[in-house]
Structure 1
Amino acid sequence: MGNIGTLFVVATPIGNLGDISTRAIETLKKADMVLCEDTRVTKKLLSHFDIATETLSYHSHSGLAKVDKIIGLLQDGKLLALVTDAGTPGISDPGSALVSAVRKQLPSIRIEAVPGPSALTAALSISGLPSSDFLFLGFPPQKKGRKKFFDEVAEQERTVVLYESPHRFLKTLAELNGRLSEKRTVVVAREMTKLYENVVTGPIDGVVNYFNEHPDEVRGEFVISIGS
């Protein structure tokens, strides 16, 4: 076995393609292969920047055989770039499992971060909420453990950040509405960096009323930040 390869964890835009870094473009171009959540999404990004690098899918349903294939490529000295559909891989994203597997099986491998856009930090930066100590919980559970999850969110005495999809967004707001004090500020950031970006802030009942009155805005991806 020759020189071991490198795994680059590359952040890509969450909406506005102008947010990609020069280093990210250079890394995607020099990589032997791009590991991506959805090859269709990533190929559009690569095409926009005239990047011809081959892609290989890696997502939440990828099995051990796919992980073994990636490990084998790294053992063969390949340069692999890991991306997600939008934002930073590994943040509420299946990429974290791959990085963990690579570290366990190839402890001496070089894993480099190519930092950039993240919905988490972008939303928190414009929320106006305390951010020196915050709790990020990703997507709420869909069924099992859901009540306990929201009970624990309500008990937090620090800023809490959640992700939510449009299909469960109103249901999640309803869960929060039954638990949060009116003194706690809620900031909902929708479609960040995209054409229809919107931020709604206020007590939870006001936020619920807004989206009930504007059902056409219950679309896209949401970041919900909850003040202490």
Structure 2
Amino acid sequence: MSAQLFVVATPIGHLDDMTFRAIEVLKSVSLIAAEDTRQSAQLLKHFNIETPLTACHDHNEANRIHQLIEKLKNGENLALISDAGTPLISDPGFKLVRAAQEHGIRVTPVPGACAAIAALSAVGLPSDRFSFEGFLPSKSSQRLSQLEKLKDETQTLIFYEAPHRILECVKDMQAVFGADRAVGFAREITKTFETIKKMTLSELVKFIEQDHNQQKGEIVLVVGGATTEKDLSQAKLDEWLQRLLQDVSVKAAAQIVADLTGIKKKIAYQRALELTQSQD
């Protein structure tokens, strides 16, 4: 048989999540391409895997590809792993996989842990349609711009975020998506201090501000999609507006409904006016 490139998922925290197949594949190949050889060496040692490692990360992947492809063409099976989870998901490896396919080399996935999917499965937000957005830009202005492009998306959105940026990121999400948009917060999945919660963005800002430990570790944010106008029935719109008009002005009621549902503010405002006039 011709050689194969195995794309192998590794644990994101709990070592017991390593699959039997992953261990056997890593033992059987002639070389493992790893994002960080020092970290991967600890994983291999734990499972008594003696296969040699070579670095394949963002800074050297383009230069390393030729060497790895030549090994594959010469009949050597190779494996690709990242620091944790499934390779290529916000990790290096895409260029190597693409090159292997271009050379007619079989690419075989060895599935396992993935932080994005693990978070989605546990936070209680719709999972029938979702979009993985990876890491947002580190600068607030660029992050806000990217979020603005996503605010009307109706599918669930999944993001990774660095711990030192998590508070500012969630504040920017609140500014763009609205304070009451639902969000799942998954931190340190499968690890000792695993935290998985669902709340609103405004509640999450307070939660992170009040507990500095929530600004540590690996974090996944799962944000509920926007509600479209067609999803809001006339009866429900009237119900919300009538309740709000008991306490706030027409303008404020329209703004709140627009923020919560995604309906255009001018439509909510016009209907609020009609309801107010009908009661006079």
Give the shorter-chain TM-score range. over 0.9
CA contact (8 A) 2:123 2:197 kept: no
2:211 is equivalent to residue 198 of structure 1: no
Q: Secondary structure at the match of 1:179?
A: helix
User: Who is 1:141 aligned against?
Assistant: 137
2:94 is equivalent to residue 96 of structure 1: yes
Q: Secondary structure at the match of 2:108?
A: strand
Unaligned runs of 5+ in 2: 226-280
2:151 to 150, 154, 157: 154
User: Who is 1:132 aligned against?
Assistant: 128
Unaligned runs of 5+ in 1: none
User: Who is 1:123 aligned against?
Assistant: 119
2:63 is equivalent to residue 28 of structure 1: no
Cα distance, 1:152 vs structure 2: 1.9
CA contact (8 A) 2:161 2:219 kept: yes
User: Who is 1:211 aligned against?
Assistant: 208
Deviates more, 1:200-209 or 1:57-66: 57-66
Deviates more, 1:136-145 or 1:49-58: 136-145
Cα distance, 1:94 vs structure 2: 1.2
Q: Which entry has the higher C-alpha Rg, 1 or 2? A: 2
Q: Percent identity?
A: 40
Deviates more, 1:207-216 or 1:92-101: 92-101
1:120-162 CA-partner distances (Å, limit 9, x unpaired): 1100000111111111100012248423211123221111000
Cα distance, 1:63 vs structure 2: 4.7
Cα distance, 1:4 vs structure 2: 4.0
CA contact (8 A) 2:62 2:95 kept: no
Paired residues for 1:37-186 under 5 Å: 37-104=35-102, 106=103, 108-143=104-139, 145-186=142-183
Q: 1:187 to 1:43 in 2, by over 3 A?
A: same
1:6-37 CA-partner distances (Å, limit 9, x unpaired): 10000000000000100000000001011100
User: Who is 2:270 aligned against?
Assistant: none
TM-score for the superposition, normalised by structure 1: 0.94
Q: Which residue identity lines up with residue 134 of structure 1 in the other structure?
A: F
Residues matched between the structures, number: 224
CA distance in structure 2 between the partners assigned to 1:97 and 1:175 by the alignment: 32
Pick 1 or 2: higher relative contact order, CA cutoff 8 A, min separation 6. Answer: 1
Cα distance, 1:217 vs structure 2: 2.3
Q: Which residue identity lines up with residue 154 of structure 1 in the other structure?
A: K
Cα distance, 1:180 vs structure 2: 1.8
Q: Secondary structure at the match of 1:124?
A: helix
Q: 1:63 to 1:30 in 2, by over 3 A?
A: closer
CA distance in structure 1 between the partners assigned to 2:36 and 2:59 by the alignment: 11
TM-score for the superposition, normalised by structure 2: 0.77
Cα distance, 1:62 vs structure 2: 0.9
1:26-66 CA-partner distances (Å, limit 9, x unpaired): 00000101110000111000000001000000001115331
Deviates more, 1:56-65 or 1:189-198: 56-65
User: Who is 2:254 aligned against?
Assistant: none
Deviates more, 1:198-207 or 1:20-29: 198-207
RMSD (Å) for aligned C-alpha atoms: 1.4
CA distance in structure 1 between the partners assigned to 2:73 and 2:202 by the alignment: 54
